[in-house]
Chain A
Amino acid sequence: MALGLLGVIAIALLAKENPFARWILSAVFAPERLLAQFGLGVACGLVSARVSGAALLLFGLGIVAGSVGQDWLLWVLYNVPEGPTHLFLTGPIAFLAIGLALIPGARLLPWLLPLAAIVAGAMLSLAIMLTDPSLHDPAFTWTPVLAAFWIVAAVSLTLQAFRHGWFPIFGRILGSWLVAIGLLYGGASLMPILRPPPPPTDTSQESTRGAEMNRTIPALPAPQQPEFPGGIERPPPP
């Protein structure tokens, strides 16, 4: 954990000058991704080492599956309204999968975690592809994958090292947060961006007088429309 923290500090310091480090901070460590990976790490920390290892393996398989079937996944998620503007809702889907696995508690977690790990892996794969600013530079593909494994492993190993009776309670509460965030995030993304309502019109005498004065001022001519579609202006006469 200490080494991990040092790594984060080093990346933060490098981010001032290095664009790649800046991209890591803004995309790889975005709250949306960090939280899903933290949730998966907590879920892995609450189960036995064998199930945890299997979940990590399935997380990797999910990443591969998401990469192989990304066209099909994008086609499915393209039909969601406003989906393309919010990374095809990869974040909310991962939150819901991990949250729904955490809420039922320790008894059902070993059965639900593998499924959640696959879904989270596939969504991470899509998010990596969608936020890649390069033309398939391997560094922009492998860095987020390694960072994700590092975060999940660091959180789960830390939890397994310090087992406490209240960890399952925290796991359930975290699960409810993830589901709530997934639903709110998804809901807010699906809503059109609203503008604040206009201020109420003043009906006092002064405002009426002002409106009358305004009426006496001749209206400005409407802005000239381009004569050709697409905004191309008429060329000057020869």
Chain B
Amino acid sequence: MQCVHKAGRYMAAGVSVVGCFLFYLLPGPAAAHIIQGAQGGFGSGFAHPLTGPDHFLAMFAVGLWGAQMGGRQVWTLPVAFPLIMVVGGVIGMLGVPLPAIEIGVALSILALGLAIALAWRPAEWIALILIAYFALCHGYAHGAELPLSADPADYAIGFVLATGMIHLFGIGVGLGLNKPMHGRLSRALGALIGVGGIYFLVPALLAA
């Protein structure tokens, strides 16, 4: 009886998470990297990663992948991501041109989704190098727009807080889905994230 209850709970959790992703994959403008005009305080920065599906999927995937790999990677990947994102952010703020950033952002979603779907467990340094590249792309895209916001300081606080919370959400979901059905639910989520990556990659390639 308990097993049935547990299975029901996992199914409900899985359905709700998949529902969230399907909602995100509904057609709409990819607006995670656009600040329009002089707006943006704490609330705007906090809402930015949560309402931009590309950023949300990438951050969620980082947490999910770390939880799937287990061990030190549970925390090394989410700790490294914001720190390297800052480097990209500063490069963006300085206005140093970096080509194909949007393609890099879309590729990050696709690669992370595939890594989770295939349950790829590389050496820690390989995972960190991959994460570093993706973090640079995301940080650059956001750093370039940060000085445009009305209150860059509060915007940065809200933005990083929301990003970290998505990481924690990813870790929580990953740790919860690792055991039931031998981690297949987690891998299925990874495949879904990969599909999201293709959804963002095609227009980015067409625009390039």
* Residues on A facing B (Cβ under 8 Å): 31-32, 35, 86, 91-92, 103, 169-170, 172-177, 179-181, 183-185, 187-189, 191-196
Contacts and interface: CB of A to CB of B under 8 A. Distances in A.
B147 A180 contact: no
Interface of B: 37, 42, 74-75, 78-83, 85-86, 89-90, 93, 143, 146-149, 152-161, 163-164, 167-168, 171
B128 to A, nearest CB: 13
A187 B155 CA distance: 12
A223 B50 CA distance: 48
- State the main secondary structure of chain B at its contact with A: helix
Contacts of A184: 86, 89-90, 143, 146, 156, 159-160
20 contacts: A31-B42, A31-B158, A35-B161, A91-B153, A103-B79, A169-B75, A169-B171, A175-B79, A176-B164, A177-B163, A179-B83, A179-B86, A180-B85, A183-B86, A184-B86, A187-B93, A188-B147, A188-B152, A192-B147, A193-B152
A185 B147 contact: no
Most buried by A among B42, B80, B93, B156: B156
Nearest to A169: B75
Most buried by B among A92, A170, A183: A183
A120 B83 CA distance: 21
Contacts of B79: 103, 172-173, 175-176
A176 B152 contact: no
Nearest to A191: B147
Contact of A196 (B37, B75, B80): B37
A177 B161 contact: yes
A171 to B, nearest CB: 9
Nearest to B172: A166
A70 B163 CA distance: 35
Contacts of A31: 42, 154, 157-158
- State the main secondary structure of chain A at its contact with B: helix
Nearest to B151: A188
A169 B74 contact: yes
A181 B167 contact: no
Given A31-B158, A172-B79, A185 B153 contact: yes
A92 B82 CA distance: 15
Contact of B160 (A177, A187, A189, A191): A177
A169 B63 CA distance: 12
A218 to B, nearest CB: 34
Contact of A173 (B42, B75, B154): B75
A176 to B, nearest CB: 4
Most buried by B among A92, A184, A187: A184
